[in-house]
Amino acid sequence: MTTEVRGQIVIDEKLLEMLVCPLTHDPLRVEGDMLMNVKWGIKYPVRNGIPVMLLEEAVWPEGISSLEGMKEKIAQEG
């Protein structure tokens, strides 16, 4: 279950433990109103209390403008 308190989502700890980045399978943490990949900085929105874990909806870290760009960075640094 997710709720929002002062612009920050509050997500059930057990649910957060189960959710991983669909691209890298790394864990996520709450970052404002988004879930963020702790290793790569990829962010996923939470809409109406539901995490949207689609790569098409991801917000890429600074300097990355596309899924292909993110894949290249992961291949180089991963």
The pLDDT of residue 48 is 85
Which residue ranges make up each domain of the chain?
2-77
pLDDT band of 78, cuts 50, 70, 90:
confident
Q: What is the pLDDT of residue 43?
A: 98
Task: Tell me the per-residue pLDDT of 13-53, one tens digit each, with 9 for 90 and over.
Answer: 898 999 999 999 999 999 999 999 999 999 999 998 889 99
Whole-angstrom distance, CA of residue 33 vs CA of residue 78: 27
Range list of β-strands (E), the chain: 2-5, 8-11, 28-31, 34-37, 43-47, 50-51
- pTM for the model stands at 0.85
